[in-house]
A = this chain, B = another copy of it.
């Protein structure tokens, strides 16, 4: 369901967040569909349950999922409108990223540019 890069400098809980966000935005995880339980996903990924919970908490704070004690975590409805548009953006981002890579454009600079645009 998800894959992690434990060598990456990106924290595990961030990778989980990004991975689940991606599945939700792509519509692979549908509205009100149940996510893996905290403990099961932790076991599956080989990480600590607290790490998974941290990701789930922040996804809930971001409005992407909702939690019910005793039942589990579920996808919040209302994200499907953006799916098509986001697919286009993903496609174009990948294209330009590939081109940049081929041109020897440094990865660190590409990421820096993204951050600059997003954060003023």
Contact = CB atoms under 8 A, between A and B. Distances in A.
A85 interface: yes
Q: How many copies does the complex hold?
A: 2
30 contacts: A8-B115, A10-B112, A10-B115, A17-B108, A18-B106, A18-B108, A18-B109, A21-B108, A21-B109, A22-B112, A25-B109, A82-B103, A82-B104, A86-B103, A89-B96, A89-B99, A89-B100, A90-B109, A90-B113, A92-B96, A93-B96, A94-B113, A94-B117, A96-B96, A97-B114, A107-B115, A107-B119, A111-B111, A111-B114, A111-B115
Interface of A: 5, 8, 10, 14-15, 17-18, 21-22, 25, 82, 85-86, 89-90, 92-94, 96-101, 103-119
